[in-house]
Amino acid sequence: MSYDIDGDNGKISLRNYVFQRLLYFLCVKHVQHLFLNKNLVQALRTTKNHLAKLDYLGVKTIGDFLQFYPRTYLDRSVFNTVSNLMANEIATLKGTISSLTQSKSQFGKMLIQALFTDSTGSIEVIWFNQPYLLRMFRPGMEVILSGPVKYRMGRPNLVSPEFEFLRDEQVHTARIIPVYHETEGISSKWMREKIKPLLEYADYFQEYLPRQILESERLLPLNEAIKQIHFPENMESLRRARERLGFDELFIIQLLALIRKKKWHEGAENFYKKIEHESEVSDYFIRNLPFELTGAQKRSLFEILEDVKKPVPMLRLLQGDVGSGKTIVAAAALYSAVKAGYQGALMVPTEVLARQHFDNFKKLFEPHGIRVEILVGSLKEKEKRNVSENISLGLIDIIIGTHALIQEYIGFKNLGLAVIDEQHRFGVKQRDILKKHGFPHLLNMSATPIPRSLAMTLYGDQDLSLIDEMPPGRQKIMTRIVPDSKRRDAYGWIQEQIRQGRQVYVICPLIDESDFLEVKSAIQESEYLARDVFPEFKIGLMHGKLRPRDKEQVMKDFNEGNIQVLVSTSVVEVGIDVSNATIMMIEGAERFGLSQLHQFRGRVGRGQHQSYCFLFTKAYNQDSVMRLESLVKHHDGFKLAEIDLQIRGPGEIYGVRQSGIPDLKMASISDSGLMKRARTQAENILFTDPNFMQHPELLKKLEKYFMDEP
């Protein structure tokens, strides 16, 4: 049977029509994918050095480049006139340039001086150390200048203004100007020059938000939002672009969270691991601790113990600052699980940390008759088999380990509670693997402080317990910024501290030298310190490329005092306690986020001696200085997280990328209205189309994040 459809050229068969539409659809998809994934080498006329720096910023394709959004904006859309200039304002002027001369200042700086004229008058313009301007400008050229107005000898001057020749559409002046995150050699001006001609590729972004959401929320189309976010026509266009892109981020995050929560509870109708216990059980454990729990610890433990009684598996995040006592809360919950007849598991990101927890838990639990064991990758095969067999037979009550705990050969007899320390280091796939052990209750822990509103957004699939109170007697760590001019003095003071028996951490951003980042590598720094700074002391080296047994030996030597100075990358960030280590030196401190710096600082101050944190830096830009000064001033991790959020934006607050969670580049966490709108639309989609049969483009977008998960 054949059906006819009116076409442009008479009638065509339904089969041919469907084939043509399918071919068109496939071609369009292919072209979109091809253009947006086009390598920047082909798209940009620039140097390999620039491409390497873009790669460091995570920009590899045209699609990446167009989604590298500005961090802020300067409004240069309104022209001033020479006759109305005021001191210290930033003025944007349109006129002609003339009378260019070159001279030297009394301090030896080269000066380029010019006369700028508009219809209302003239003003002198000064640039420093830019002789190439003499070749660029010709008398009578029409230009736009934008810069600060200063008064010299009673007359106004424009000092080192941005300049741009008149063109059909201005890029750097006479409009709302985007300002991008910069790295050495990649300026905002360079970014604007390169992004502007690529904006035509924005039309190749596939719209994935359903039409009903776009209409009901009155949102811009995706391609238009991307164009306007880079070069907005006006402030209203910028507002609408931010709204659209911010909505997208919150909407996707909420959808992912709701899907994960649904997946975790799938099969919960057969759930039987309600951990029923008398309150006296946990009370007995707490009474026998050698210290008093804080109010925040007691509240968090109560929330956990109430959760594990429910007929669905718990999925809760326990969040607290470095040293706030999360581990003892988890230990009390594990104690209750064991006393109710279940097994418990504690999974941590590093073997060093696993062994530290193992030693502490043995001391804590063995007096209560609870059997604790460790399972890590460096154990011999025979030891692994013995531990695995004892887990499956129920001869081990609490097992502590790394990823080794979720290998295929591990089988629990009756796992009731799994605790994951530093949960952002593990992906949600590891969480799903735990399902094969019969849906244990799951407690995630994180020492990365995040403001509550942000945590509830990012971890919308989990209930949140917050330890926002420090144990009494916790000492404050004296923190100082050390410029290069004070480096030698700092080294001398640290030498005296080591001679008095103290130990030192030195944190470096990289393992090996980088070709274009002027930061100290751990390997180079350890060699330099051993040779030129601390030759009389033993220097150790720790980084992620060491074999587990070598890491273990280095930390053992440091803990026992055989190493006085430990040079490390950020691998030392998580949870390692050495009570005699009282000095934390951080090289290239501006390269780390505030929260990560705060975590480094938390590695010292674990003993009786006063501890110190020294921030070595060459950074002089305002954002970096503000961040480092706030670390000197504040010791509350949650306060620092809020400051980091204000300065750097929510997508950069963690210090490590969150597994399976898109970066927040545009969404403002303070915008509770937008957050609520995104949550409502996410719930509506899952209610009306839980399998996304009607929204294939949205499903494709979501699959990208699930594919990215470890």
Give the pLDDT mean for 549-574.
83
Write down the mean pLDDT value for the chain.
82
- pLDDT value of position 474: 74
Q: Which two tokens stand for residue 332?
A: 């009390």
Asked which of 7-16, 258-267, 346-355 is least confident by mean pLDDT, the reply is 7-16
CA distance 410 to 385: 9
- pLDDT value of position 622: 75
289 vs 704, higher pLDDT:
289
Give the pLDDT mean for 551-579.
81
533 pLDDT above the threshold of 90 = yes
pLDDT band at 220 (very low <50, low <70, confident <90, very high): very high
Alpha carbon of residue 544 to chain centroid: 19
What's the pLDDT tens digit per position in 397-447? 999 998 778 776 788 899 999 999 875 555 556 666 777 777 789 999 987
Q: Which two tokens stand for residue 357?
A: 């927890």
Q: In b/e form, how buried is each residue of 141-157, taking b as 16+ CB within 10 angstroms? A: eebbbbbebeeeeeebb
684 vs 51, higher pLDDT:
684
pLDDT band at 106 (very low <50, low <70, confident <90, very high): confident
User: What are the residue ranges spanned by the domains of the chain?
Assistant: 1-31, 78-174, 268-467, 478-634
pLDDT band at 545 (very low <50, low <70, confident <90, very high): confident
Give the pLDDT mean for 63-74.
87
pLDDT band at 513 (very low <50, low <70, confident <90, very high): low
CB 87 within 8 A of CB 151: yes
Q: Which two tokens stand for residue 631?
A: 């670390």
CATH code for residues 478-634? 3.40.50.300
| Percentage with pLDDT > 90 across the chain | 31
List, in sequence order, every beta strand (DSSP E) within 348-425. Answer: 372-375, 398-401, 415-420
CA distance 659 to 458: 11
Question: Number of helices (H) and strands (E), helices first, in the chain?
Answer: 24, 23
- pLDDT value of position 19: 45
pLDDT band at 57 (very low <50, low <70, confident <90, very high): confident
CB atoms within 10 A of CB 591: 17
Q: CATH classification of 268-467 is 3.40.50.300, yes or no?
A: yes
Phi, psi of 61 (to 5 degrees): -125, 170
CB 580 within 8 A of CB 558: no
The CATH architecture to which 78-174 belongs is: Beta Barrel (2.40)
597 pLDDT above the threshold of 50 = yes
614 vs 25, higher pLDDT:
614
pLDDT band at 515 (very low <50, low <70, confident <90, very high): very low
Supply the pTM of this predicted model.
0.69
- pLDDT value of position 424: 54
- Provide, for the chain, the percentages of residues in helix, strand and coil under a 3-state DSSP scheme, each rounded to the nearest 5: 45, 20, 35
Cα 344 to Cα 186, 265, 653: the distances in Å are 50, 20, 32
Task: Confirm whether 268-467 and 478-634 share one CATH topology.
Answer: yes
pLDDT band at 30 (very low <50, low <70, confident <90, very high): very low
Give the pLDDT mean for 240-246.
94
How many CA within 13 A on the CB side of residue 601?
A: 30
Amino acid identity, residue 608? Q
- pLDDT value of position 23: 44
Give the pLDDT mean for 279-288.
81
156: β partners: 151
What's the pLDDT tens digit per position in 127-173? 998 888 888 888 888 898 988 998 877 788 898 898 888 876 777 77
CA distance 332 to 301: 8
Cα 285 to Cα 275, 279, 319, 333: the distances in Å are 16, 10, 22, 10
